[in-house]
Amino acid sequence: MRTLFVGAGAVGGFFGGELTRAGKDVTFLVRPGRAAVLARQGLRIRYADGHTETVHPRLVTSADVDGPFDVVVIAVKAYALEAALRDLAPAVGPDTVVVPFLNGMKHLDQLTSAFTPGNVYGGVCVVSTKLGQDGEIVQLNGMQELKYGPVQNPSDARLATVEAALSGGSFTSSPSRIILQEMWDKWVLLAAMGVITCLMRGSIGQVNSSPGGTDFANGVVTEVTAIATAAGFAPSEAYAAFIRGVVTDPSSDLTSSMFRDLSDGAPIEMDQIVGDLLARSAELHVEAPLLALAYTHLTVYEAARAAAENM
């Protein structure tokens, strides 16, 4: 069974690398620059416990894709999806299952427009990783899980095929028949974390150790859960309580991937994580003033970053 990972960055490189270590038939579709780095030094993963492993996976660029794969895993930043779709098109056949691990929900519309809708799965990754200065993947903590499942037909028999392709590594591999709820649950947490840390420019602990910080964090959670509820994907009471516990912990050093990108002066997924949620709030007549404030703040950052990049 052939599996193609589109992207060998902090997320795709970690999970695809773990499957490669486990002996799975994995190929990475990467840009020429990344291919050169990986060919020279291998795909290196520095784990949260401090040790490092190196694998030498099969690599292809868009010009080298020689036919359909059984499973295509998309693990790129949302703003890189359009280019990735052009590159991976030759790898998708009539029976290929496409499994994206992107933030938010907006990408599902793009994928179901590009491919047979029934072949598009949903995916959730639970991991905290980043790329190091030398192109290695750095694991920040021990969280490592993939969740995936059919979007249109929950009983799709190919879920077992996807499970076989994505199992065997050191991480938890979890097939799901309710993947849309799983995706909304992650989006709610991700948006709350992103809004809180980016708007306040600090960790969860720093925000909650400041005057008004916990009230602000609770207000953000109230907004994002109200939007999910209005959309028909209300988080369970237990999960909603979990989210509040995470984002109101004054001792937490947690940040968000968007905050880390912002701190590094990198492009951010503001439209996919915050903007799309804000647009849905308007359609559903749910007031979300804190999300609106955060989106304005992030838009100013992204405009300034892009202007500086083009100077």
Residues of the chain by 3-state class (helix, strand, coil), percent to 5: 50, 20, 30
Q: Alpha-carbon distance 222 to 103, whole Å? A: 20
pLDDT, mean of residues 279-304? 98
E strand spans, 136-293 = 137-150, 172-175
Entry field: residues in the chain: 311
Phi, psi (rounded to 5 degrees) for 222: -60, -45
Tell me which residue of 117, 112, 134, 123 sits closest to 54, measured CA to CA.
Answer: 134
Instruction: Provide the angle, in degrees to the nearest 10, between the axes of the packed helices 237-247 and 213-230.
Output: 150
The amino acid sitting at 49 is D
pLDDT at 105: 95
pLDDT at 311: 78
What are the residue boundaries of the structural domains of the chain, listed by start?
3-177, 182-309
Give exposure, 222-234, as e/b (b: 16+ Cβ within 10 Å): ebbbbbbbebebb
Give exposure, 112-146, as e/b (b: 16+ Cβ within 10 Å): bebbeeebbbbbbbebbbbeeeebbbbbeeeebeb
Q: Fill in the DSSP letter of residue 120.
A: B
- CATH dotted code for 3-177: 3.40.50.720
pLDDT band at 66 (very low <50, low <70, confident <90, very high): confident
Per-residue pLDDT at 26 exceeds 90: yes
Per-residue pLDDT at 141 exceeds 90: no
Question: What CATH fold (topology level) applies to the domain 182-309?
Answer: N-(1-d-carboxylethyl)-l-norvaline Dehydrogenase; domain 2 (1.10.1040)
Tell me which residue of 32, 27, 17 sits closest to 59, measured CA to CA.
Answer: 27
pLDDT at 92: 96
Kindly state the percentage of the chain with pLDDT values over 90. 89
pLDDT band at 219 (very low <50, low <70, confident <90, very high): very high
79-127: pLDDT as tens digits: 899 999 999 999 999 999 999 999 999 999 999 999 999 999 999 999 9
Per-residue pLDDT at 164 exceeds 90: yes
The amino acid sitting at 260 is R
- Specify whether the CB–CB gap between 216 and 243 falls below 8 A: no
Q: Alpha-carbon distance 243 to 51, whole Å? A: 31
Per-residue pLDDT at 297 exceeds 90: yes
Joined together, the tokens standing for residue 233 give: 């994907």
115-137: pLDDT as tens digits: 999 999 999 999 989 888 888 99
- Specify whether the CB–CB gap between 277 and 295 falls below 8 A: no
Fold equal for 3-177 and 182-309: no
Average pLDDT along the chain: 95
Classify the C-alpha dihedral 287-197-99-76 as positive or negative: positive
pLDDT, mean of residues 249-253? 97
pLDDT, mean of residues 183-207? 98
- Specify whether the CB–CB gap between 69 and 5 falls below 8 A: no
pTM of the model: 0.92
Joined together, the tokens standing for residue 200 give: 């306040």
